[in-house]
Amino acid sequence: MDTEKAKVISFINLKGGVGKTSAAINIADAISRTGKEVLVIDMDPQFNATQALLNHQYRYHRQEIKPLILSEAQEELKEKYDEIVNASLVEEEEEDREQDGDLSLDENYKKEISSQLIYNRLKARSMTVRTLFTNAEVATPLENPSLVTSVALI
């Protein structure tokens, strides 16, 4: 990748619910469709962008997930969640389909749970951006934590 031509686009707003994650994912998708490489870094503790992108990767690019992480997640899904997912969907009709494909609700739930399980494994192995930054001490601890308490009391 030619770093001279690299661009950084940040989505920052202290207020929640203003569409930062949706905008970031949709703009990243639009740029990637032009043939450019895109890197999305999700620093939000709620990790919604990460979850959405992992869900997409699990559905459409599963071969790019490390085999050990994938097999562990699939095994946990079978052990802990298959019975729950299947039981909750007994009353659902088979003709219900998600808009992004011909998957039953059962399959959609399984894929979403699987992407969450994959994230948990990445996090446990310190392979998420947030844990990498924290481990590398890019996110430095506060020099004077008492200031936070003082400000909070005002």
Q: Which of 41, 15, 38 is nearest to 27 (CA)?
A: 38
Find out whether 49 and 56 touch, Cβ atoms under 8 Å. no
Phi and psi (nearest 5°) for 137? Answer: 60, 30
pTM for the whole structure: 0.60
Asked if residue 85 has pLDDT above 50, the reply is: yes
Asked if residue 116 has pLDDT above 80, the reply is: yes
Q: Which of 10, 13, 34 is nearest to 24 (CA)?
A: 10
Question: What are the tokens at 80?
Answer: 């802990």
Q: Model confidence over 17-30: pLDDT tens digits?
A: 999 999 999 999 99
What mean pLDDT is predicted for residues 133-145? 55
What mean pLDDT is predicted for residues 2-23? 86
Q: Please report the pLDDT score of residue 103 as a whole number.
A: 61
Best-predicted range by mean pLDDT among 23-27, 85-89, 133-137? 23-27
What mean pLDDT is predicted for residues 33-62? 86
Q: Which of 8, 6, 72 is nearest to 41 (CA)?
A: 8
